[in-house]
Amino acid sequence: ALQLIERGQFPGIDSPVNPYLKRFRLPPPWGDDVTLMQLLPHTSGTTGGGSAQGAHEAMASPSTVDDLEFLIGKENLVRPPGELSLYANIAVALEGTLIEDISGSSLAEYMQANIFDPLGMRDSLLHHHLELPENLVTPVGYFPNGDAQAVLRCFPCRSGR
């Protein structure tokens, strides 16, 4: 998102995002006031409770613009922006939607062309498919005694866990 500011495609970190969202708008009463600076540290007023996505409804991952429109329209912004920092994946998804709407590329395409390729990150990607990508690294968790254990990967969780 900050690259878009550097390139003059978004006016600044304290600018409202609604004028740059093309596929939907954040609703009243506070939607027009939400800025990029409030989305980044999770002070935008979006809900943080409920599911892992920060929604009160179950939601697929990755989320679509239709999912966001439904959830934000239904749950609305629950507090004025800037009032409270509360993590919500909805805010992160809104940042991705903003990048897509401004750049005209999917978030995965944007990240590949503007982050991963320039940095030589040949094995990095945003993966939005049910099939596991090739060369997927198995995450490892460490116990206090130093023992390591592979972390169960659930991509996406089909078992409901």
> Is the model's pLDDT at 58 over the cut of 80?
no
Please tell me the distance from the alpha carbon of residue 161 to that of residue 158, in angstroms, as a whole number. 8
Please tell me the distance from the alpha carbon of residue 67 to that of residue 88, in angstroms, as a whole number. 14
- Rg over CA atoms, the chain: 17
- Helical ranges in 40-88 per DSSP H: 65-75
> Is the model's pLDDT at 54 over the cut of 80?
no
> Is the model's pLDDT at 51 over the cut of 50?
no
Strand 148-150 and strand 140-142: the pairing is antiparallel
**Cβ–Cβ under 8 Å, residues 81 and 70:** no
- Whole-model pTM? 0.74
Average pLDDT of the chain to the nearest whole number: 81
